[in-house]
Structure formats: structure tokens, C-alpha cells
Amino acid sequence: MSKNIVAKTGNEAMAEAMRQINPDVVAAYPITPATEVVQLFSQFVADGNVKTDFVTVESEHSAMSATIGASAAGVRAMTVTSSQGLALMNEMLYIAAGLRLPIVMPEVNRALSSPINIHCDHSDTMGARDTGWIQIYSENSQEAYDNVLQTVRICEHAQVKIPGMVTTDGFIISHCMERMEMIADNEVKNFIGEYRPERYLLDIKKPYTLGSLDLQDYFFEHRMQLAQAMCNTGKIILEIGKEFGDKFGRKYGFYEKYHLDDAEIAILVMGSTAGTAKVVVDQLREKGIKAGLLKLRVFRPFPYRELAQELAHLKVLAVMDRADSIDSFGGPLFDEVRSAMYDLKDKPQTVNYIFGLGGREINLEMIEGVYTQMQDIAKTGEIPQRVNYLGVRE
């Protein structure tokens, strides 16, 4: 394998992945901070670097609609969005999943209004967590690039056939330049292969109806199929993560463990904050504190069995949510991780930290503070506050 080390922002990394995928159709509407992915990709189209039919649309609702149309017609179709754009697509996200179309969408995480904010948090994709899409979160540009390539394979797999979004943290990853390795164009081409759907609307020899009225008699069965497909997706994600690792040297699973196996206290978090937390874990380990980290990569399907096993031995677990459910309890990640551990005989004390909303700073000291509080809980067995808002002014 030829190593090509480059410096890329998250947006550049995802645009390059799209160039190498060379989708047949991309329909997109530019929105911050994913704008740059679309802009860079449109340059590839203009320069003739891809053979993509690039459709400029008037909104994200139309972007997803056109992508659905192209995918149903039988081609590899992609789009890109962020924040309000994803919210506007919401109706069509359910349709893409319900029609079982393997659309891959890079998504740049940032806050939803109101008040107006353009910076990072996970509330946009958390709002789409029950749409039937695969959700894969990335810590940095390298992961964003690798995840986009793998997600094409995952979504198009015969046992999956559901759409997937790959996210990066807005500005923190999308606009931050980092060292990463790119795979050669022809190797990507071989890895993703050609898209050959079993059935497609433009196959005039086998005509069929797609998206018809589906009332009391059949709707439930079709939704059950989608639920089953999501259950099948886990093992495919692991297979493709392993194949990617064997070929290109970077293995992927549902999550990454960092000093977790012998840890007594640990943080579970998604996205770029995991990188900051790793530094804190290193500092604490030097002081002899048994701190660990689990960075969750795959949120949909939710790997509840595996998570429960990995976390069972901990004394205290802090789940860090970069989104709030506004449900008078905790964040979405906390709710699901805590539920996953419910059947364990001995389970860790679990606390929630909602942080970083609207791009609010999350730094080493703040994360160290979380570990310090977990040490106190481990010592006293008492939880002063189950759900905490980290870094908000009183």
C-alpha cells in the first residue's frame, strides 16, 4: 500500500473521500459549516475529476428528495449537510430509510436554533436518531475520511440496505487541519466496488412500484424489516471495519477503548472531545489514577450488548453528551448507555455531563474535573448530582 500523508481539514477529508467514491449523483444545498464539502466537491465536478451529475437544489429538503430519486433510480447517490439543513431534511430522512436506499451522507455536527448558533454540538444528528439511518461519529479528519469510505460498503451491503450518515464536529474538525493518510484512488475504487442494486426503478424489464400507500395491512411489516436490517447492520460494520484495517492498517469497531480494561473510572463520549479526554487519561495515568475512556463511534445501530460488557467492571462511568434531550432528565447518549447497563448484575455508578452546547469550550481542566468528581463518587459511593451541565454559567 502506498502511503500518502497529507494535511486536510475535516471538510477536505470528506470531500476527497467523495471524489474517490465518484458517486453518480450528488444533490446538495450549501450550509455552514458543511458548505465547504459541497464547494470543494463542486470544484471536482467542474474540473472533470469526477463523473458525478451534480444537482444544485433550492433546499435541503429538495437535496434529500433528489438524492432519494437518484438512488431509487439505481445509482450511487450522496449528499452533504449540517445542522438546520439536516433538520429541514427530516421528513425525507425517514423516507430514504423506509424505501431502503443506501444513501451515504457526510454530516457536520452543529447546534440547532434557537438562539441562532453556528458552532458544534450533536443536537442535529441526535434529532435524527430514530429516522432509521446508521450514524457513525468521527474523532478527527482521518476517521471522517475512513468512515465515509466504509459507510458506502456498509449501506450497500445486501443484508443492510439502509442509509448512513458520517459526522464530524463542526469547526473543531470540519475546519481544523490535521495530518492524515489518504488511500490511493484505485485502491478506494477496488475497496468500495461497483454499485449493482438488485432492483431499481429504471430497470424497464422488471418494473415495480416504490413508495406506494402502505396502510394497516403492511406498514408494520415494512417497519419490522427496517428494524431487522438495523439489527443485521452491527456485524456488517464489524466485518467491514476489520477488512478496512487489514487492507489499510486502521481497524474500526463500534468504539475505541483507551486504557479502559483496567480502569476504575471512565468517560464515554463521541466525536472530537475523545481526543481531549485521551490527553487527560494520560496525565491521570502518570499519577497512578486508573482512568479510562470509551469513544463511541457507532451510535446507530446502538451496540448495547458490547457496551454493557465493556463498562461492567467500572466503579463510576461518566457519559458525556454534546446534546440535551430537554426531557427533564439527561442527554440522549446517557439515557441509552444507562439503559444498556440495566441488566448487568453489578453495574457502575453512572453520571451524565451535558457539555459543549453551541460550541462552548471543553478543555483539559474541565475533563479532569469530571474524573475528579468520579473519584469522589468512587470513594464515598454518593452521587451529588446525577445529571450535570458542564461549563455553563450560573
Partner 1 sequence: MNKKKLGYKELPAGDLLEAGTALDFETGSWRSDRPIHDEEKCINCLICWAYCPDSAIKVEDGKVKEIDLRYCKGCGICAQVCPPKIKAITMVEENKAEK
Nearer to partner 1, 99 or 237 (CB): 99
Backbone angles phi, psi at 221, to 5 degrees: -65, -40
**Cβ 42 to partner 1 shortest distance, Å:** 31
Nearer to partner 1, 208 or 342 (CB): 208
Helix (H) or strand (E) holding 187: helix 185-192
Nearer to partner 1, 70 or 111 (CB): 70
Nearer to partner 1, 56 or 225 (CB): 225
3-state secondary structure of 296: strand
Would the CA dihedral through 39, 40, 45, 51 be positive or negative?
negative
Closest CA to 290 of 267, 266, 317: 266
Q: Find residue 25's DSSP bridge partners.
A: 53, 77
**Cβ 212 to partner 1 shortest distance, Å:** 5
Assign residue 326 a region (left: φ > 0; alpha: ψ between -120 and 50; beta: otherwise).
left
**Cβ 123 to partner 1 shortest distance, Å:** 29
**Cβ 208 to partner 1 shortest distance, Å:** 5
Nearer to partner 1, 212 or 380 (CB): 212
Binding residues for partner 1, rule: CB under 8 A, are 98-101, 161, 199, 207-212, 214, 217-218, 221-222, 224-225, 228-229
Nearer to partner 1, 221 or 246 (CB): 221
Residue 15, all three cell numbers: 470531500
**Cβ 167 to partner 1 shortest distance, Å:** 25
* Cα 177 to Cα 90: distance, rounded to the nearest angstrom: 30
Q: Which residues contact 384 (CB under 8 A, 6 or more apart)?
A: 373
Q: Which residues contact 199 (CB under 8 A, 6 or more apart)?
A: 206, 208
**Cβ 133 to partner 1 shortest distance, Å:** 14
